[in-house]
Amino acid sequence: MKIRELVVATKNKKKMQEIRDLLKGNGIKLYSLADFPDAPNVREDGKTFKENAAKKAVRIAKFTRKLTLGEDSGLEVKALNGAPGIYSSRFSGWPKDDQRNNRKLLRKLKDVVRSSRGAAYKSAVALADINGLIKVVEGACSGIIGDAPKGTCGFGYDPLFIIPKYKKTFAQLGEKIKHTMSHRAKALDKIKKTLIDL
């Protein structure tokens, strides 16, 4: 099998490991921005997950001259009118901190009953090469925000994100189940054929 190379435009080690797990077995050699210390810092100033994913993919593809995957994702909570949305990773300010973000989310929802705590994880995945953007897709996973963090797996809002079918958070369910139904898994699944064809 021919080895294909793909740059993932992220410095997030946990996100990179998840993408690595989701794409394994396809003969693709993955690189992250850790392999390109001189890569430009791409400002995520788009108004949507799709815009941010595309911007990362195009900018890093031009720099590395390699096929590049950009991903942007976050949590949208109905009771908060879709917040934190594109600001999910920096919801509580800088530096980015998952636990602080989770505490802020719980504070915002302290008077909201469980039946009104519906939420969705969203992910946008973009592919680009030296010539520009090739494709952008999205994936989503619906759930409910719990009252307190539970579980130790995953990252981000996983300890609060309950999957109704299992009555457990992503952080309790672990990677094996999460990888069959997560927003990122669905988005990557949609783009996998294009990726392999390229």
| Catalytic positions | 72
Between strands 28-32 and 4-8, the pairing is parallel
Give per-residue burial for 14-33: e unless 16+ CB within 10 Å, then b: ebbebbeebbeeeebebbbb
CA–CA dist 89, 151 (Å, integer): 19
CA–CA dist 128, 68 (Å, integer): 5
Is the CB of residue 171 less than 8 Å from the CB of residue 154?
yes
CA–CA dist 172, 162 (Å, integer): 9
